């Protein structure tokens, strides 16, 4: 069983941008019901299928499997809910952790968030200066919810 424990934050500036090169992500959802989400994602030339359980606090079950890129692209084009989430992700090491900064495009243009995966929900972290308000508990910022309520509509 895999447990995902992560915190999400808005950013206070673009001081992060020179710290890593971004990679293009496309992701879509086959299911976005509260009890489970099923996501298809491409990262560069690789495809993935991810199943996530209900979020409790900042934790949830997560299972991720690599799938053939052609299958991932076909699932994104033919079966996933619209719109497809498009973003660049930047992975930045800081304070012994990897911070993943997502810069969204398309209907979510203008939204930039950082998330960090933790070992435990009560883990103490050192935040970089470019990390601002925590939004872990705000469901608007869940990628799956950006399909039904894109950032441009806020």
What's the pLDDT band for 55 if we cut at 50, 70, 90?
confident
| Domains by residue range for the chain, with CATH | 3-153 (2.40.320.10)
The total of other beta-carbon atoms located within 10 Å of residue 8's CB is: 20
Q: With a cut of 80, say whether residue 1 has pLDDT above it.
A: no
Across 92-105, average pLDDT: 97
- Taking CA atoms, 135 is separated from 18, 29, 141, 148, in Å, by 24, 22, 7, 18
Q: What is the mean pLDDT of the chain?
A: 95
What's the pLDDT band for 61 if we cut at 50, 70, 90?
very high
Across 5-25, average pLDDT: 95
Q: With a cut of 80, say whether residue 144 has pLDDT above it.
A: yes
Residue among 53, 50, 107 at smallest CA distance from 82: 107
Residue range 103-117, pLDDT digits in tens: 999 999 999 999 999
Residue among 93, 115, 102 at smallest CA distance from 9: 115
What's the pLDDT band for 73 if we cut at 50, 70, 90?
very high
What's the pLDDT band for 51 if we cut at 50, 70, 90?
very high
CB 60 within 8 A of CB 54: yes
* Six token digits for residue 45: 């030339």
% of the chain residues with pLDDT over 90: 92
0.75 cut: is pTM over it?
yes
Residues with active-site annotation: 29
* H or E element in which residue 124 lies: none
Residues 6+ apart with CB under 8 A from 56: none
Q: What is residue 148's DSSP assignment? A: H
pLDDT at res. 3:
86
Residue among 138, 120, 145 at smallest CA distance from 8: 138
């Amino acid at each position: 069983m895999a447990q995902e424990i992560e915190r999400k934050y808005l950013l206070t500036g673009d001081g992060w941008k020179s710290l890593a090169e971004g990679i293009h992500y496309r992701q879509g959802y086959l299911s976005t019901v509260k009890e489970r989400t099923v996501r298809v994602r491409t990262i560069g030339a690789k495809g993935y299928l991810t199943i996530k359980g209900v979020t409790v606090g900042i934790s949830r079950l997560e299972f991720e499997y690599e799938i053939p890129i052609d299958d991932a692209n076909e699932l994104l084009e033919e079966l996933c809910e619209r719109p497809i989430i498009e973003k660049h992700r930047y992975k930045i090491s800081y304070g012994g952790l990897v911070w993943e900064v997502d810069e969204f495009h398309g209907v979510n243009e203008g939204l930039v968030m950082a998330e960090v995966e933790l070992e435990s929900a009560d883990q103490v972290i050192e935040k970089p200066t470019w990390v601002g308000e925590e939004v872990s508990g705000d469901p608007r910022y869940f990628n799956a919810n950006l399909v039904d309520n894109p950032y441009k509509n806020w």
